[in-house]
Amino acid sequence: MMFPNQGKRSSFSSTGLKGLFPGLTYVEGVSLLHRLHPLVKLVLLICFTLAVFTTSLRGELVLFCLLLLSYRTGGLGPGFFVRKLRFIFIFGLMILLVQILWIREGYLLWQLDLGRLHFAVWSGGLWGGLGIVLRFVNVIGSSYLFVATTDPNRLAYALMKAGLPYRAGFMLITAMRFIPLFRLELALVKNAQMAKGIELEGLSPRLLIRVVKYLLVPLVVSALSKVDFLTMSMESRAFGLYPTRSYMSAQALTGKDKIALVGIPLALLLFYIFF
């Protein structure tokens, strides 16, 4: 199910924060990653995350290169990766700067004396900071790739076929569908409030209180009304009456999918041993 604001940037602010945060939405496509079974991609994401937290700096660089290659394989490209995750890169650079300034371990790489100010870069701070940044980018980037290439309907149906209660699967589908809807609702509420002459631009503690009052409160009220309509629709269709349900599309695992489910953890083990 697509919403009108998919593929568009959020108009929450016209300052430097505008369009900074990525929208977690599914991007339709016909690439190899889009065609993979959702359970295979889920296992791949879990194994990739485990590899991120168990490998060395050299392994982190290899995983980052594999992540960029995966974005290209998914038909998104490195440009999409940088554009959607630029906030992650900015935050990662801040982490790296803190590590360089505060960690004084290893051997001295560079120093600068400016009177009372003394700057020094030590190997422990630099390599440790790079490791944290790469780990952070790899985890967030792989998670976003999974969301961008996995249809929430297919994912929920596959999980329900694997044994997940269909009530929990419906909760997953609803949550992922409401994210872009709330982004659109937030933009509409903001534009309506600004049309009344209410200033909502800038960054200040006073503005934060105003944002909560004039944006979040109407958004919560609108969300609760949508929940009421959804509840009445589900009750009118006797949702939850039967212990099992039927499916419009089959999500059966093929022979290749089963081989992949076994091969991916083995590849993780080999990667761990090598790096």
pLDDT of 137 higher than 70: yes
**Pair (189, 235) in one structural domain:** yes
User: Are 189 and 221 a contacting pair, CB within 8 Å?
Assistant: no
In a domain, 156, yes or no: no
Question: Looking at residues 76-102, what average pLDDT do you find?
Answer: 80
In whole angstroms, give the CA distance from residue 56 to residue 91: 21
Give the pLDDT confidence score for residue 252 in this predicted structure: 76
In a domain, 160, yes or no: no
Q: Which of 44-48, 60-64, 107-111, 134-138 has the lowest mean pLDDT?
A: 107-111
**Pair (35, 63) in one structural domain:** yes
Distances (CA, A) of 59 to 2, 10, 203, 275: 37, 35, 40, 6
Q: By residue range, what is the domain housing residue 212?
A: 1-13+165-244
In a domain, 19, yes or no: no
In a domain, 179, yes or no: yes
Between 109 and 54, the more confident residue is 54
Which among 84, 93, 74 is positioned nearest to 10, based on CA atoms? 84
Give the pLDDT confidence score for residue 46 in this predicted structure: 93
**Residue 187 CB neighbours (<10 A):** 16
Taking the alpha carbons at both ends of the chain, their separation in whole angstroms is: 42
DSSP readout, 1-36?
Answer: ---TTTTS---S-SSTTTT-SPP-------SHHHHS
pLDDT of 75 higher than 80: yes
Give the pLDDT confidence score for residue 222 in this predicted structure: 81
**Pair (114, 234) in one structural domain:** no
pLDDT of 121 higher than 80: no
In whole angstroms, give the CA distance from residue 120 to residue 145: 37
DSSP readout, 105-148?
Answer: -S-EEEEEEETTEEEEEEHHHHHHHHHHHHHHHHHHHHHHHHHH
pLDDT tier at 169, thresholds 50, 70, 90: confident
Count of domains observed in the chain = 2
Give the pLDDT confidence score for residue 139 in this predicted structure: 92
Compute the mean pLDDT over every residue in the chain, rounded to the nearest whole number.
78
pLDDT of 254 higher than 60: yes
**Pair (170, 146) in one structural domain:** no
Distances (CA, A) of 67 to 129, 223, 263: 20, 35, 18
pLDDT digits (tens, 9 = 90+) for 203-233: 666 777 777 777 888 888 888 888 888 888 8
Question: Looking at residues 100-111, what average pLDDT do you find?
Answer: 77
DSSP 8-state code for residue 153: H
